[in-house]
Amino acid sequence: MESEPSSESSSESTSSASSYQSNVRFPELQAYAGKTYYAVDRDSAEYPQMFPTSFTITSDTEALNVDGKQELIRNVTSDSGFIALTGEMGHSMGTTLSFEFRPLGGSDSDAVEVLNQGQRLAYSTTMPE
């Protein structure tokens, strides 16, 4: 009868309680992951081209899909109620993606507000009419 210490499996069993979080890179994005957010009344913005028509955070929170282009998320910071994502745009100019949003309404609300250079626009998971 072998009695080898199971050092490998012990680390796995401790995380099984929160196993659904183990495939999430940025836990602060988990509530928003896997949903598509659509711009609410984008044409009313002063500079509508500053805002995507929609965005989706992938369910593993590794990437942000903005208008069909996928951007890898490098960093997430949350302060003053806003969640800021930074990522690689992957364009020849090498621009950094900076994307800030904050939840609107209660915790059960699926609406967020996106901030871009002082401009704000609301987004919702319900597709506009």
Tens of pLDDT, residue by residue over 20-40, are 445 899 999 999 999 999 999
State yes or no: pLDDT of 1 exceeds 70.
Answer: no
Residues of the chain above pLDDT 70, percent: 74
> Highest-confidence range of 8-17, 26-35, 120-129, by mean pLDDT?
26-35
Per-residue pLDDT band at 106 (split at 50, 70, 90) = low
Per residue in 15-44, is it b (16+ CB within 10 Å) or e — as a string?
Answer: eeeeeeeeebebeebbebbeeebbbbebee
Angle in degrees, CA 44, 47, 48, rounded to 5: 60
For the chain, give the mean pLDDT.
79
Residues 24 and 30: beta-carbon distance below 8 Å: yes
State yes or no: pLDDT of 124 exceeds 80.
Answer: yes
Per-residue pLDDT band at 6 (split at 50, 70, 90) = very low
Query: Mean pLDDT over residues 97-117, rounded?
Result: 84
DSSP H or E run through 101 = strand 96-104
DSSP secondary structure, 83-120, as one string: EEEEEE--STT-PEEEEEEEEESSTT--EEEEEETTEE
* Tally of residues, the chain: 129
Residue 26's pLDDT is: 95
